[in-house]
Amino acid sequence: MDQHVNQISIAGTLCKPARLRKSPAGIEHLYVLLEHRSQQPEAGLLRQCYVRIQVIHSGDHLEHWLEKLTVGCEIEARGFLHRHEDSNGLAKLVLHAQHLVKK
C-alpha cells in the first residue's frame, strides 16, 4: 500500500472546555474543540475561512492540559485527519494531534 500524506496544522481558539477520558485500553485522550477564523487567498481574492474541528491528543500524563487550556485560549495542533462516527452513525473528520501547543 502506498504511503499517502495526511498531515495538517491549524491554529485557533479553544471554544469549549477540554475533556480528558481514558479508553478501555487505559490510554488517555484529551478532547479539544478548536475554532479557526482567517482570511486565505484564493483565485486572487481573500476568502473568509471558518472551521470548528474536534482535536484529540492521546498519550500519558495529559492532566496538566486541563489546567492550561481555558476557553478562549489560542492553540495550535498538528497531526493527521481521521474519520470518526458518532453514536448515530454520522461521520465527521477529527484531527488526531501529534503535537499540541498553547500559544
Q: What is the pLDDT of residues 37-82, one digit of tens each?
A: 999 999 999 999 999 999 999 999 999 999 999 999 999 999 999 9
- Domain assignment present for residue 57? The answer is yes
- Domain assignment present for residue 90? The answer is yes
Looking up cell 498531515 gives: 7
- Domain assignment present for residue 2? The answer is no
Give the DSSP H or E segment for 64: helix 63-68
Question: Quick one: DSSP state of residue 88?
Answer: T
* Furthest CA-CA distance within the chain: 50
Mean confidence (pLDDT) of the chain: 95
Q: 2 pLDDT exceeds 80? A: no
Cell numbers for 102, please give them: 498553547
- How many domains is the chain partitioned into structurally? 1
Give yes or no for a contact between 29 and 95, defined as CB atoms under 8 angstroms apart.
no
- Domain assignment present for residue 89? The answer is yes
| Structural domain of 17 | 8-102
Confidence of residue 1 (pLDDT cuts 50, 70, 90): low
- Domain assignment present for residue 3? The answer is no
**Phi, psi for 49 (deg, rounded to 5):** -115, 140
Q: At CA 11, angle to CA 16 and CA 25, rounded to 5?
A: 60
**Phi, psi for 8 (deg, rounded to 5):** -140, 145
CATH number assigned to the domain comprising residue 15: 2.40.50.140
